[in-house]
Structure 1
Amino acid sequence: MTSREPAPPVEEDEDVVVVAPDEQTTPDPAPTNGDGPRVSRRERARGVVRTWALPAAVGLLVAAVYTIYSLAQWQAFVVKSWDLGIFTQLASRYAALEAPIVHIKGPEYHLLGDHFHPLLVLLGPVYAVFPHAFTLLVVQNVLFGIAAAVITRAAIPLLGRVVGVLVGVAAGLSWGLQYAVEAQFHEIAFAVPLLAIALVGVLREQWRTTIVAGALLALVKEDLGLTTAVLGLVLAWRSRRPAMLWLSAWGVGAFVLATRVVLPSLNPDGEWVYGSRLDLAAALSDPLALYAPAKGYTLWLLVIVTGAIALRSPFVLLAAPTLGWRFLSAEPGYWEPTWHYSAVLLPIAYVAMLDGIDRARRGRVRWLRRYSRYAPIVGLTASLMLMSQLPLWQLTNPGLHFGAPREQGARAALAVIPDGAVVESDIGLMSYLVDRTDVYYLGNQNPVPEYLVIDRQGGGTPQEWGDVLQVAQMLHPEAAFELVHAQDGYEVARVVGASALDD
């Protein structure tokens, strides 16, 4: 049974949306051989190539642009946080078929006690072939490119080739994904294509595809189990199949299992750490206190890039769990559109836009049918106007944004640290050491390292701590260290008694 309602009768004086012959959503009839429709493998392959040529080109474009940006960051020694180092250590453990023990997070810290992301085991085989922190950035960029291709594939039959491709590019280079690329790798990279695949599956009534993608989504991060639950509700309603509610049960079950069992059992504090950041009782006691300009700006960005017609679709309900935990938190950083927190919202918004246009065209509201013609243009115009405020705009002046005046000092600092060494570091050079040394973060209680590395200009070590020898004395008073490198703010100390190096 289909969820589509019959189109209302159209009066003679009403505008009718006409779709060009090459843009029809109904596929061409399959060739037959007398006994019924039978398509040869070659014809089927040609059909797939014709269908996916433009979407694949969009996906490659998005992945390439983001990789150029990531490469510029990498060569300029830009490290946004410790997260890239954390996930690189996780990938190296999975590549070695080991538990994800991540020393950057803490000595012998099991990372599945921080967030529930078992799907990241897929990083293991990739990292085994390409053992480098930069590999994770490329993986994320490719995943975003896949999401753009999927959205483009859904947009072309509805909007035509030109507008459909432009919408796919806009989705792939949208503000939420740009900020995620700027923030470097995070686990939500896997959620972006899964959400696109799942929602396009609903749009095209490919229920099995939606179920598989939705089930995997719950394994990306604990809160996404609730998003999967909402997806199950939408799927059951659109398919008119109550059995699809099992997907909702799976999502709720994954969320409960993660937050009540897995995370507390593996976390050193015996709890779901991030649950304490939500204060629902305080929010309900003073609802007006929930308002903040940053929250309104984030919502406005979501609406404007879709020409507001996404609000016509029930798909927008999938954004509620993510927006809920962010806006109910007392952490202001969650309210802003920056970092990676909004990346999962953009595939929801763009597929909701496509669904909203389709529903408006078939609806009874005349002005909405008319507006559905122009909504993509409104969204594309808004996206274009936002570009100068977003991270990719930095590529227009790479000398300013990605100049590396301290490159020589950074490379010299890296050169004095041998492979396999135990290193304690701030975030300055962490991501450049993590794939060849055993790195600890100096903000934790760590064992005495062989080398201590700080970046006094941008590594995050408090200035009042002093130079690297003073930091060493503060963190490890029981050990003696000697200075082996100091240049351009990068300082390296070696514990006395370590094997000599060729300077």
Structure 2
Amino acid sequence: MDLPADPLVSRATAWTRRLVPVLLAALATLAYGMLGTQQFRNLVARSWDLGIFTQLVRAYGELRAPIVPIKGDDVNLLGDHFHPLLAVLAPVWWVWPSGEALLWAQALLFGLSAIPLTRLAIDRLGPGLGSLAGGAYVFSFGMQSAASVQFHEIALAVPLLALSLTALLRGKVRVAVLWAAPLVLVKEDLGLTVALLGGLIALQHRDRRREGIALAAWGALWFVLSTFVILPLLNTGGQYDYTDNLGSPLEVFWPPVKWITVLMLLLMAGVIGGRSPLIWLMVPTLAWRFTGTVEFYWDWYWHYNAVLMPIALAAMLDALGDRRTGRATSWWRADAPRPVRRIRVTAVAATAAVTLVLGPAMPVLDVLRPSRWEPTWRAEPAAAALAAVPDGAVLAVDITLMAQAVPDHDVQWIHGPNERVPDCVLGDRYAFSWADAPPQDLELWAEQEWGVDYRTQFEDGGFTVVCRA
């Protein structure tokens, strides 16, 4: 049930509650969007993911199946990860057909997630601590690192989790269930998170046990269905591609970088958030990451921690309780006394400190550095290289200009399993995907790779374009 309104709340507090969450959302959207623009225009490519998702959203925008030739000529990306909810981004392509648009869409989703959580924090902690907690959340290390490595499907999960957990802490269990349900369509592993949330609701809310059991069954069903049925069915290899990335459960606690990540997450939850049952919602995500053999699964610096940020803040707010009731929480131990102010201040300070201590390593600060806005010397050659490729051509390209090439070309991965012979090949000798060993003659390399004749159409700034004779 809803908590009663506090008659002692001042007008200033009421205005803070209205304005601060919106201001934080706008500031975060602007900061992360500008970071995306800065990277896009300076040819910063963290991986091939932005190109992949740009091609995916283009397919949805053109009302086609999500075939992504970057992964392979006949690859349906729903056979790679299960994220059909990304189809809601099709209108973004209609308005702004560019990979840069996806970066702004993600920035907006991150920013919007701050509104319900910050408003809840202000209600529970007061205007000062609540605003600080909201700011620490939206500029947390998980959000910044996700924005820095560019677009991923988890962008949709962040606001859904924020809305669901906020509703749960306000006692609106049915609303929490409805916001959590679509998470199973964002990524296959989130079905386990949804199932666990349903289990917690069933255990802690006897009057809502039916809804909790239904949500748990929904999450478990979609995890099994997506991982073991849908993904193998749509996968060109007839399998779930990431099974081989899982190692032994005995390695889950090693190497030490995993402990550092856990410590950072615990600090993000104000440490006291470890008392809340909500902290267990981190376990499914951490389990597959820490049993994985891919090293960047373990670290704090990638997009995987973004989905854990709403959980961390919600767990802290749950454990710190509500200033209007004087109790620790509203949903699992109504008889617990609320922690004293010193503990509340320390907890909120910890959430801010875990990001601030990283200092210059935080990517969002690049937005404030004038030197980062200076056009790279390769901007003009990059534009000229893209212009040298005829519109609609089948183009094999490496990492650097992959996302930029998608709107006007049928893009393939230059090193990928391509069955079609590309019309043109665009290579960047400075791209990290060449592993510091780019071909000295891209024309000769392409002829050897595909067995047809190519002629050089453009060469400048490290970029070379060759097209079929």
What's the TM-score once normalised by structure 1's chain length?
A: 0.85
Contact kept, 8 Å, 1:260 with 1:272, in 2: the verdict is yes
Tell me if structure 2 keeps the 8 A contact 1:150–1:196: yes
Alignment check: 8 A CA contact 1:152 1:167 kept: yes
Q: Give 1:260-409 correspondences, 5 Å limit.
A: 260-279=228-247, 282-283=248-249, 287=250, 290-358=253-321, 362=327, 370-399=342-371, 404-409=376-381
Residue identity opposite 2:56 in structure 1: L
- Aligned with residue 490 of structure 1, among 457, 463, 469: 463
Q: How does 1:138-217 map to 2 (within 5 A)?
A: 138-217=104-183
Asked if the contact 2:321/2:338 (under 8 Å) is kept, the reply is no
Following TM superposition, by how much is the alpha carbon of 1:109 offset from its aligned partner in structure 2, in angstroms? 0.7
SS in 2 for 1:494: strand
Aligned positions of 1:72-83 closer than 5 A: 72-83=38-49
How far residue 310 of structure 1 moved from its aligned partner, in angstroms, is 1.1
Whole-angstrom CA distance in 2 between matches of 1:289 and 1:85: 32
Percent identity, aligned pairs only, is 39
Query: Structure 2, unaligned stretches of length 5 or more?
Result: 329-335
| TM-fit CA distance, 1:79 | 1.3
Tell me the distance in 1 between the aligned counterparts of 2:132 and 2:453. Answer: 60
Distance 1:367 1:202, change over 3 A: closer
Contact map agreement 2:142 2:301 (CA 8 A) in 1: yes
- CA pair 362-252 structure 1, distance change in 2 beyond 3 A: same
Deviation, structure 1 residue 365: 6.8
Partner of 1:37: none
Match of 1:22 in 2: 9
Q: Which structure 2 residues correspond to residues 30-179 of structure 1 after superposition, within 5 A?
A: 52-179=18-145
How far apart are residue 67 of structure 1 and its match?
0.8
Whole-Å separation in 1 of the counterparts to 2:254 and 2:16:
48
Which residue pairs with 1:456 in the alignment? 429
How far did 1:378 drift? 3.2
Secondary structure of the equivalent of 2:434?
Answer: coil
Deviations 1:318-342 (A, max 9, x none): 0000000000111111001112111
- Offset of residue 487 of structure 1: 0.8
Deviations 1:320-371 (A, max 9, x none): 0000000011111100111211111111101111111118963557876751
Determine the structure 2 residue equivalent to 1:242.
209
CA contact (8 A) 1:313 1:359 kept: no
- Structure 1, gaps ≥5 residues long: 5-18, 28-46, 497-503
C-alpha distance in 2, partners of 1:414/1:73?
Answer: 18
Shift in alpha-carbon separation, 1:178–1:428, aligned structure 2, 3 A: same
Contact kept in structure 2, 1:263 and 1:272, CA below 8 Å: yes
Measured against aligned partners, the alpha-carbon deviations of 1:241-278 in whole angstroms (never above 9, x if no partner) come to 22021100000000000011100011011011112322
Contact 1:205 1:239 in 2 (8 A): no
Q: Is the 8 A contact 1:23 1:161 kept in 2?
A: no
Q: Which amino acid aligns with 1:330?
A: T
1:423 and 2:431 matched: no
Computing the radius of gyration from Cα coordinates, the structure with the larger value is 1
CA distance in 2, matches of 1:315, 1:62: 25
* Contact 1:86 1:102 (C-alpha < 8 Å) held by counterparts: yes
Does residue 1:474 correspond to 2:448, yes or no? yes
Q: CA deviation at 1:390?
A: 1.4
Q: Is this contact kept in 1: 2:160–2:183, CA < 8 A?
A: yes
CA deviation vs aligned residue, 1:355-398 (integer Å, no higher than 9, x gap): 11118963557876751343213322343333422111223434
On the 8 A contact 1:454/1:461 being kept in 2, the answer is: no
Alpha-carbon contact 1:23-1:157 (below 8 Å) kept: no
| 1:252 paired residue number | 220
User: Helix, strand or coil: the match of 2:168?
Assistant: helix
Work out the CA distance in 2 between the residues paired with 1:326 and 1:23. 45
**Separation (CA, whole Å) in 2 of partners of 1:58 and 1:124:** 27
Q: Residue type matched to 1:318 in 2?
A: L
Task: Name 1:227's counterpart in structure 2.
Answer: 193
User: How far apart are the structure 2 equivalents of 1:467 and 1:298?
Assistant: 44
Please say if residues 61 and 94 of structure 2, whose CA atoms lie closer than 8 Å, have aligned partners that are also in contact: yes
**Contact kept? 2:195, 2:217, Cα under 8 Å:** yes
Task: Write out per-residue CA displacement over residues 131-188 of structure 1, whole angstroms, 9 at most, x where no aligned residue.
Answer: 1111111110000001111211111111112321221121111101111111111000
Moved more, 82-91 or 162-171: 162-171
